[in-house]
Amino acid sequence: MHCLEVMQDGADYGDDASADYGDDAIASPDSDAAGSHAAGDGGGVNTVVQRRRRLAANARERRRMLNLNTAFDRLRTHLPSLGSDRQLSKYETLQMAQTYITALVDLLD
C-alpha cells in the first residue's frame, strides 16, 4: 500500500479527541459561573465538576493512546520482519519505517 493510499483509506489515526470535548471544553463566562462556588467561598471550581472534567479528560487520553497504538500496530504490519519474537518498540518502529522507506526510494532510482 502506498503512502497516498494509506492517507486516503478513510482510517482516522489522528487525535480525534477534539470532536469529543463536550460542553466543558469551551469556557464561557456563563458556564464558568455555573460550576463555581459563590464568590465569597474562594471562587474554586465545584469538585463534582472537576471530577467530571478529569474523567472526561482521562477518557480522551485513553482513546488517543489507543488510536496511537493501533496506528503503530498497523505500521508494523507493513515493515519487514527481523525474525525476532518480540514486537518492535515505537521508537524502533519509526526507525525501521524510515530505513525501509529510504530503501524503497533507492530501489526506484
Q: Residue ranges of the domains in the chain?
A: 29-108
- Say what the pTM is: 0.57
> DSSP string spanning 37-60?
--GGGT-PBPHHHHHHHHHHHHHH
Summarised one tens digit per residue, pLDDT across range 50-64 is: 999 999 999 999 999
Q: What is the mean pLDDT of the segment spanning 11-28?
A: 46
Angle at 102 between CA 98 and CA 104, to 5 degrees: 120
pLDDT in the model for residue 40: 54
Provide the pLDDT confidence category of residue 104 given band limits of 50, 70 and 90. very high
pLDDT in the model for residue 5: 43
CATH of domain 29-108: 4.10.280.10
Summarised one tens digit per residue, pLDDT across range 29-50 is: 444 444 445 555 556 779 999 9
pLDDT in the model for residue 43: 63
